[in-house]
Each structure stands twice: as structure tokens, then as C-alpha cells.
Amino acid sequence: MAARILNGNAIRDQIYAELAGEVAALAAAGIRPGLAAVLVGDNPASKLYVNSKIAACGKLGLESFLITPPASISTADLLATVDQLNHRDDVDGILVQMPLPRQIDSKKILDAVDPAKDVDGFHPLNVGRLVAGRPNLVACTPAGVMEILRRSGIPLEGANAVVMGRSDIVGKPMAILLMHANATVTVCHSKTRDLKETVRRADVVVAAMGRAAMVTPDYIRPGATVIDVGQNVITDRAEAERIFANFPAKLETFRAKASVLVGDVHPDVVNTAGAFTPVPGGVGPLTIAC
């Protein structure tokens, strides 16, 4: 029996409907919140992602400001840009799209964002608040995963949860949020021994390893909830045919576009899991919404 599909687009639309009411109430009071997005250089994936965020602002009636410094910008000049945004009264939220060019000290930039405007939740003060159980602004992808789980009625209290990946952006905050929801949490990574056996004991699996289709059905306990954070572009025909052997529609997409998107979870897991987020249309829309 195939897994229940957890539709991220539908949950995003629920959130947007709720936000539209909040934005309208603020507008009635003469307030229009503003989001500034800093997009350095011409990374196509980053550009697509930031444009989606700007479009969401427009849809909801939020003000948005797109700042696009050249890829050659220095750390000092980017710090000055962030400082200007910190002091602008019309900017309530700031996001600096990652990754930044190699010559830039990314940690310095993220630390420079006013914690009260740090909508990505990357500032050490916001990370500390999250650890202390007093979250204010939380990393968007983990926050989106929690919305999927909560709004889909997935029980977390007492559940065994495995987070695959330990990045500052997803893995670490994800584990903390799950602990605050009273799950028993194991964090796995590239050095974990008996990875497959550890993951297979989980009631809830959040895969964020950045490796295409690595989580195969033998990693998953039948009936488990599987949340796929991965976003991997496949351009090799043999790899696409191997991964999507049982999904002819996906192979048609590959043949038409010469590429196809796959998560960190192998699509065959849909026949083992109890609930499953698709890629695309799962976690991605919630990251933007959050």
C-alpha cells in the first residue's frame, strides 16, 4: 500500500490564507511589513529561490526589496549593505541568500544581520533562543517541516525521530525543534556507524544529507513518516533510469528537459513509508512560506 502523500503546496496555501488576514489587519493600521532579500551574484538556483520569495511577498501584500550586489563584492562592502538594511525602518526582515561567493566571510555576514530582522534564524542569538526553548525567528526549512508534521497530524510526542544531516541550516535546528516537541531524537551524519539500522528504527525520518536518492526502502521501517528535504538535480540518463525505473512519468520529464529533480529519499520508499513528502511539492513550498 502506497504512503500517504504530505502535500506541501496545500499546506503552504493554508499558511498563506492565514497570513493574508494578518497582513490585511496590519494594512488597516497603516503598516506594511517589508522583506529585504540580498542576492549576491548570478547563481541560478539562488536566483530562482529568491524570486519565489519575492513573488510570495507580492501575493500576500508585503513590501519586498531585492538587493543584488555583484559576485565580486568584498566582505566589507557586503557588511555595509547589511548595516544599511538594519537601519532602514521600512525593512522588517532581512535574508542573505546562501551560498555566498568564496571571497566573502559568510559567518561575519550572518552575524551582522540584526537578530530582530533575521528571518532565516541564522544569527547566534536566534540559534541560542531556539536551544533554550524560547524560539523567536527559526530556520525556515526546519520550521516548514514542523508545520508539515503538525498540520498533517503526525504524532511526535514519544516518537523515535532520526535527522539525517547535521548542517547549521537544517539538521541541527531540526533536531532541536523535534526535541522540543518531545520526540526522542537521533542525529545521523556521514560518520554514523550502522546508519541503515539506526534510521530503520525511526518512526519519523527527516533526510537532509544532500545525496540523491540515498535513502532506499531498506532504510525505512514500514509505516514510518519520511520527510525529504533534499533537492538534487539529476542530469545523467543512466542515473535517472536507475532511480525512476518504477516512475515512467518522471523519466518522461527527464527526456523532455534532460534533467529531473530528486530528493535524498529514493522514490520507491513511497511503497514502504506510511507518509511521505514528494520532491518537488513537499518541503520546498514550506521553506518559502515560513
The answer to whether 81 and 69 have CB atoms below 8 angstroms apart is yes
**Catalytic site includes residue 53:** yes
**Catalytic site includes residue 120:** yes
Q: 117, 118, 120, 228: which one is catalytic? A: 120
Q: How many CA atoms lie within 13 A of 123 on its CB side?
A: 19
Q: 13, 14, 42, 53: which one is catalytic? A: 53
- At 18, which amino acid appears? E
In the chain, the N- to C-terminal Cα span, in Å, equals 32
Q: 97, 117, 203, 250: which one is catalytic? A: 97
Residues labelled catalytic: 53, 97, 120
